[in-house]
Amino acid sequence: MMKIVAGLGSIDEYIPYVQAGADEFFCGYVPASWTEKYGTLQALNRREVMNVNVQLGSMEDLKILKNMMDCYGIPVKLTFNSLFYSNEQYKEVAEIIERCMNVGFSTFIIADPALIVYVRQQGIRNCRIHLSGEMSEINSLFLKNIAQFDIERVIFHRKNTISEMKSCIVQCKNQIPEYEAFMLNELCHFTGAYCNSLHCDELCHLCHVPYELGTYDETEQKTEGKLVVAEETFLEDAEIYVTGATGCGLCSLYQLEQAGVTHLKIVGRGNYVDCERQDIAQLKKALNILEEIKENRENQSCISQMPCSDRGYERDECNSMRFKERIQEELFHGKCSKNCYY
């Protein structure tokens, strides 16, 4: 079964999320010394805020988290996924990574190719690297190239098609063993690797600034008729929990597994604890439905009670449709957000 990877905003979330069904966690760690030196102007990872609990800020909390990991056996990886660092920061980040390793954390999510080069050049041993979803474009040529740096996992960014992921996995499986895909929340309008604008407390994300559809010039419109003229609709902030309200890939689980994806990411650092717990539980439920479909695929007929082949479908295609139907019925109860990742 594919594993559920959930985000931690604080160590207090570890146990409730384990109980909800998480198989692995990721979280940020920003030492106070970094915050005091660089603030949010040069963040250590992509949670560039001070006023919200979105990551860990003390080494002692990391040690407590390690105690929890030892007890529950659910691993945590740490994110150092800023798109770039500068000058002496490479040395500082490498030192932080080594300190984290000394207390028992061995896996790090990195987005900056220069940091990967630096970490390997410094010979930091036993440091496992997961390529962040904020890394530049993922394609098999790039993956084969970066595999020389001993990469354990690729986290595909949000705007990948399943067929592209499959192609990458097929070609790189021998060099990179694990592949993670985004599953729930925060379907950004722009690609993370190319999002260079501010993410801070004081200003909204640049993509949230007011805008209107305008024209390039007042020339005759060549694509007239193709344009959907309706006013753009925006999702209101949900007052009640809706699975995948801001981004969802649940319907694609069957295809993702077929493609070779091994891990599923729930974006959630800083989310309400109860929402994240429900996200984990919903994803667990979806994975159980997937297992049922897979177990029955050899001996169960199609949705229409007719063999797949008679209806012109391959078995996998038919099972995928069957899976989607059950997800809609049993998880969404007709309240699908239609904010699909894939």
Partner 1 sequence: MLTDSVSMIPFALLSGFLYCRDEEVIEVRITELAENGFCFRTAQEVDSIEKIELHFYEEQDKKFRVIAIDHPRSLEVSSDEFSYTYEVQVHGLDEVKREQPCISDAKSKISASTTMYRVAVQGLIQQYYHYIQLKMSGDDATLSEVYTGYPAHLDEEITKNFVKQRQAWLRETFDMQIKEKDTDSTKIAGIDSYKNLEHSLLKDCELAIQLDHSTYYEKYLNHPIADFMKMYWEENAFSNHWLSKQTVTRLYIGNEFCHNLFPDWNQLICMMEKARSEGLDVTISFTYLREELLSQTEQGINQLYDWCKKMNFPIELVINDWGMLPLIQKKTDLFTPVLGVLLNKRRKDPRIKYKAKCDKELEQFMCNSLNNDFYQEHLQEKYGMNRYEYESCGYPIEIPKGRHSLHIPFYQTNTSQYCPLYARCKEGRRGKQSFVNGCPEYCSEYVFSYPDHLHMVGRFNSLFGYDTEILGVNSLLPYYVEHGIDRIVMNFM
Q: Partners of 265 in the beta sheet?
A: 5, 182
For residue 154, which of 110, 106, 117 has the smallest C-alpha distance? 110
Q: Which of 173, 175, 177, 207 binds partner 1 (CB under 8 A)?
A: 207
- C-beta closer to partner 1: residue 137 or 329: 137
| Residue 211 is a binding residue for partner 1 (CB under 8 A) | yes
For residue 269, which of 48, 19, 39 has the smallest C-alpha distance? 48
> How many angstroms separate the CA atoms of 263 and 63, rounded?
25
In angstroms, the Cα distances linking 132 to 25, 94, 266 are 14, 17, 14
| Residue 106 is a binding residue for partner 1 (CB under 8 A) | no
| Residue 237 is a binding residue for partner 1 (CB under 8 A) | yes
Q: How far is the CB of 58 from partner 1 (least distance, A)?
A: 4
Q: How far is the CB of 315 from partner 1 (least distance, A)?
A: 25
Q: How far is the CB of 45 from partner 1 (least distance, A)?
A: 12
> How many angstroms separate the CA atoms of 237 and 200, rounded?
20
> How many angstroms separate the CA atoms of 120 and 118, rounded?
5
- C-beta closer to partner 1: residue 68 or 303: 68
Q: How far is the CB of 36 from partner 1 (least distance, A)?
A: 5
Q: Which of 102, 123, 174, 209 binds partner 1 (CB under 8 A)?
A: 209
Q: Is the dihedral of CA 270, 273, 277, 282 positive or negative?
A: negative
Hey, which residues between 84 and 103 contact partner 1 (CB under 8 A)? 84-87, 90
Q: How far is the CB of 285 from partner 1 (least distance, A)?
A: 26
| Residue 294 is a binding residue for partner 1 (CB under 8 A) | no
Hey, which residues between 240 and 279 contact partner 1 (CB under 8 A)? none
- C-beta closer to partner 1: residue 10 or 328: 10
Sequence-distant (6+) residues with CB within 8 A of 299 are: none
Q: How far is the CB of 323 from partner 1 (least distance, A)?
A: 20
- The SS3 of residue 125 is coil
Compute φ and ψ for 66, nearest 5 degrees. -65, -40
Hey, which residues between 14 and 73 contact partner 1 (CB under 8 A)? 30-32, 35-36, 38-42, 49-53, 56-61, 63-64, 66-68, 71
Count of residues interacting with partner 1 (CB under 8 A): 100
Hey, which residues between 66 and 85 contact partner 1 (CB under 8 A)? 66-68, 71, 83-85
Q: Which of 123, 125, 232, 239 binds partner 1 (CB under 8 A)?
A: 232
Longest Cα–Cα distance in the chain: 68
Cα dihedral value 116, 117, 122, 125, nearest 10: 40
Hey, which residues between 140 and 169 contact partner 1 (CB under 8 A)? 140-142, 144-146, 159-161, 163-164, 167-168
Side-chain-side CA neighbours of residue 60 (13 Å): 1
| Residue 177 is a binding residue for partner 1 (CB under 8 A) | no
